[in-house]
């Protein structure tokens, strides 16, 4: 219903476009852990600090557990994630699937 006139409105019929993944990894999504060797910030500690998935198009989803769990999306992939969270090699990726 049109809020201004009060008349019923019809939306134009559109055909949804199909989106195809640009596949970066043919074997499918890969799981990983973010392993912190040195806690540079003094916040997250050492060991496994987050877990994630690299999707076939290169996008990464990273999940931080703990008291305030948070999930972030990295459209630019693992390299972008490590630029922020890698702390110049103090944190690395440990791949879990093969």
Per-residue pLDDT of the chain (98 residues; tens, 9 = 90+): 455 556 665 655 665 555 555 555 678 899 999 999 998 888 888 899 999 999 999 999 999 998 899 999 999 999 999 999 998 889 999 999 76
| C-alpha distances in Å from residue 20, one per residue of 30, 34, 84 | 19, 29, 29
Burial code (b: 16+ CB inside 10 Å, e: under 16) for 78-90 equals beebbeebbeeee
Q: Is the pTM of this model over 0.85?
A: no
Q: Where are the domains of the chain?
A: 31-95
């Amino acid at each position: 219903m049109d809020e201004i006139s009060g008349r019923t409105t019809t939306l134009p019929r559109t055909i949804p476009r199909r989106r195809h993944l640009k596949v970066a990894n043919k074997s499918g999504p890969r799981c990983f852990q973010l392993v912190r060797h040195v806690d540079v910030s003094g916040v997250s500690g050492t060991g496994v600090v987050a877990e994630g998935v690299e999707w076939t198009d290169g996008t990464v989803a990273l999940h931080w557990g703990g008291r305030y769990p948070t999930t972030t999306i990295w459209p630019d992939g693992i390299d972008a994630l490590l630029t922020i969270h890698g702390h110049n090699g103090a944190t690395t990726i440990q791949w879990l699937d093969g």
